[in-house]
A and B are shown apart, each in its own frame.
Chain A
Amino acid sequence: MAERAVSRVSRRSVLKRTAAGVAVAGGLATLPGWALAATELSSHETDSPADATVPTPPLVAYVRDASKGEIALLVGDQEIVCKNPSLVARLLSAVRAA
């Protein structure tokens, strides 16, 4: 019979890193400023370099409404909707160029 190991492996280990409220709050605070604002931003603000501090993965971003320039960010059990028409336009261009 297989030897009994002492260590435990939890399939939820990844979810635990993302689902805890405190972790999510801390992760949110390290998001780039454009992601926290719900208002439309000017193009120069959206071109700021990526923040080196990122929330614990996964962070999923998707274009929620291209016509409105809306991007939704999914992290932990939260959804944050922000507007960034410039970024959406660049994403759509990348898709067309692919």
Chain B
Amino acid sequence: MSSHREAPAIANDPVADNTDLYAFVSPDAPDTVTIIANYIPLEEPAGGPNFHQFGDDVLYEIMIDNDGDGVENVTYQFRFTTQVQNPNTFLCNTGPITSLTDPAWNIRQVYSVTKVVGPRRRGPATVLGTSLACPPVHIGPRSTPNYAALASAAVHTLPTGEKVFAGQREEAFNVDLGSVFDLGALRPFDDAHLINLTGPQTPRDATKGYNVHTIAIQVPKRHLTRDGSSPTDPSDPKSVIGIWASASRQKARVLEAGPDLVQNAGPWVQVSRLGNPLINEVIIPLGKKDFWNSQHPKDDAQFAQYYTAPELQVLLPVLYPGVFPNLATNPSRPDLVAILLTGIPGGIIGGFQNFTGPTQADMLRLNMAIAPSSSPSPFGLLGGDLAGFPNGRRVFDNVVAIELRAIAGVTLPLVNPGYTPDAAAALLTDGTTNDVAPLAAFPYLGHPHQGYEHSHD
């Protein structure tokens, strides 16, 4: 949940809350790109009687920009429909669910996938699939005894070659939320904090044992490039795409006591978006967070000031006195603008670029010509792994540590050779790891925790 409950309005609308976005060259199918958009933060597995599901009244979208202007060239839209087989019972299922068509499964969701070419509200749209089944949520050993088989059956291949999955998955993001938002504390360094607690504490992953709802799509690379070619040259601008995800609701909502309690009307209004991790979470100030969620990446230059002078850069030397003397000089941060708003141009890091052009836009930037790493580092580019974040984002990339270290100054020498990062900058981490390994195949995120037995400790 690199973006969860991060803005006042979306904190009250979990079904439309983008929590994470991943994009990477598929390791087991390197002629394709996998894009994963997660929603519903801190999803408790024991969620009955009405288990968590996508919003029937939400428009979920994944956008791809392949010409660097911050405007989508390809959009995949997902709309969900809940189907209740028997409204005369309170039960989600009346027996073990052994298949996606099992009559014992009462509350189901199906979805459609539509592809729009060009601007998402004006471009020609093609429906790629309808009535695609979501898997049930992982209830427990009695209700969903062979969950892996149910999830596998919910992977659909579309006639145009994309592979899609939409349903519950294990939360792959790990972070010590309790400590980080307790005045910016990192438990491994508790003894250096301004408000010193008794010695270093054991890190606690606040997302352990929780689930998310995932929309995953695996797309042939040639469907995403601006000219339909398959990218092979990492230095070619056409090899780089920008990706972001969003959720939108209709402009008006009418509540009327009666059989149709909720009715919606009007055009779609974006209420959540996500490109790079942790941006609206810790870069954008409180007074702009709801507004940021409503905006389009092509207009993100209006937020550049928060990248060139991030608040966290000012806070770290205060919260950890004497640890960040160089950072305390509060240098301007064109490196963060490059990494997060334009991509890194060629010539700065050997063999790498993910530059989309001068338009400042918050997008995950993936160089599709860089092959998956045979020895991946969770620290991505900072760990010498060209296939890792900020080159797209893989499920296991430790974006908390990467962005903490970047904001603490580790990346500034890339554009300002005269700056020397503080020694502590390269050590920053919240100390957590995910205890569930990702899957080796699509949709890559682990099977969800079951409601009957799970632990958050």
Contacts and interface: CB of A to CB of B under 8 A. Distances in A.
B103 interface: yes
Contacts of B250: 74, 77
Interface stretch (B211-219, B258-266, B379-387): B258-266
Interface of B: 56-57, 81-89, 91, 94-95, 103, 250-252, 254, 260, 263-268
Nearest to B90: A2
Nearest to A16: B81
Contacts of A79: 251, 266-267
B56 A11 contact: yes
A2 B266 contact: no
A14 B94 contact: no
Contacts of B87: 5, 9
B81 A12 contact: yes
Contacts, number: 75
Interface string A58-98: 11101000000000001111110000000000000000000
A2 B251 contact: no
A31 to B, nearest CB: 14
A2 B252 contact: no
Given A5-B86, A9-B84, 6 more contacts: A11-B81, A12-B81, A14-B263, A74-B251, A79-B266, A79-B267
Contacts of A15: 56-57, 263-264
B267 A1 contact: no
A77 B251 CA distance: 8
A2 B91 contact: yes
5 contacts: A5-B88, A10-B81, A15-B57, A18-B264, A75-B266
A26 interface: no
A14 B83 CA distance: 14
Contacts of B267: 74, 77-79
Contact of A2 (B81, B94, B254): B94
Interface residues of A, number: 25
B56 A4 contact: no
Contacts of B260: 13-14
Contacts of B89: 2
Most buried by A among B89, B91, B94, B252: B252
A38 to B, nearest CB: 16
A51 to B, nearest CB: 18
Contacts of A13: 260
A60 B81 contact: no
Contacts of B83: 8-10
Contacts of A8: 83-85
Contacts of A62: 252
Given A58-B263, A79-B267, A4 B86 contact: yes
Contacts of A47: none
Contacts of B252: 58, 60, 62, 74
A5 B91 CA distance: 13
A62 B254 CA distance: 12
A1 B266 contact: no
B265 A74 contact: yes
